[in-house]
Structure 1
């Protein structure tokens, strides 16, 4: 898992599958954020309402359970990238790195959302700012 390296063509072959997973993750995180904002608003409104007693039932149990389930689902999706050997750097906008070797040097082939293909790379410590076009194979 941690030792996998990719060629440029292997990264591009895997890209459609990764894009589908990324879209699913982006949709899930957007839903989570919307639900979390609603939850926070409702919780704040209840705290400001007069204390009339709500019994022993937690009025937020269902929302909290849904949020926790969504978080677990997102964690599984994120873990799937790692299981494939891909480093998911950002969800929005999508940013992924593929460990590789170029001229005997460890590098990261990188892709950012909006690019049709994986076509750039950077050194392990250069980060996104150090990206360069991958040399023609």
Structure 2
């Protein structure tokens, strides 16, 4: 598998589109969680006697999960790593100063200005030399 590598300019150019996609992903995640909680509460209080009236809700949850996974896959297909949905945290594989690195964007930042090593994580963020 080939890993796409981004320049700082490429990653920042893609950021507006990704912010919108991330917003939709956050909405879907919240809705999925709310529906799952409602389902669990309904299931806990329901006494099954005949048939399965929860089937419709289970099917809805399954469909929501598939849709959510498809949206997550959109990031992967573009070569972007979703590290956290809320708050949004995205990583872009790159080469910085000749080394493998991840350009790092956190929700609330206007643009990508930091990077870290593959094993350093968010705590190891450093300012990008071209930012």
TM-score range normalised by the length of the shorter chain: over 0.9
TM-score, normalized by length of structure 2?
0.95
**Aligned-residue CA RMSD (Å):** 1.3
Q: TM-score, normalised by structure 1?
A: 0.91
1:92 aligned partner: 86
- The 1:2–1:77 alpha-carbon spacing in structure 2 relative to 1, beyond 3 Å, is farther
Quote the residue 2:95 is aligned against: 101
Paired residues, number: 131
1:1-137 matches, within 5 Å, as: 2-47=2-47, 53=49, 55=50, 57-136=51-130
Is 1:107–1:124's contact at 8 Å kept on the other side of the alignment?
Answer: yes
Tell me the CA shift for residue 102 of structure 1.
1.3
Distance 1:2 1:92 in 2: 28
Q: Post-superposition, which runs of at least 4 consecutive aligned residues in structure 1 deviate over 4 A?
A: none
Q: Which runs of 5+ in 2 are unaligned?
A: none
> Residues 101-128 of structure 1: CA distance to partner in whole angstroms, max 9, x if unpaired?
0121000000011111011000111111
Greater Rg over alpha carbons, structure:
1
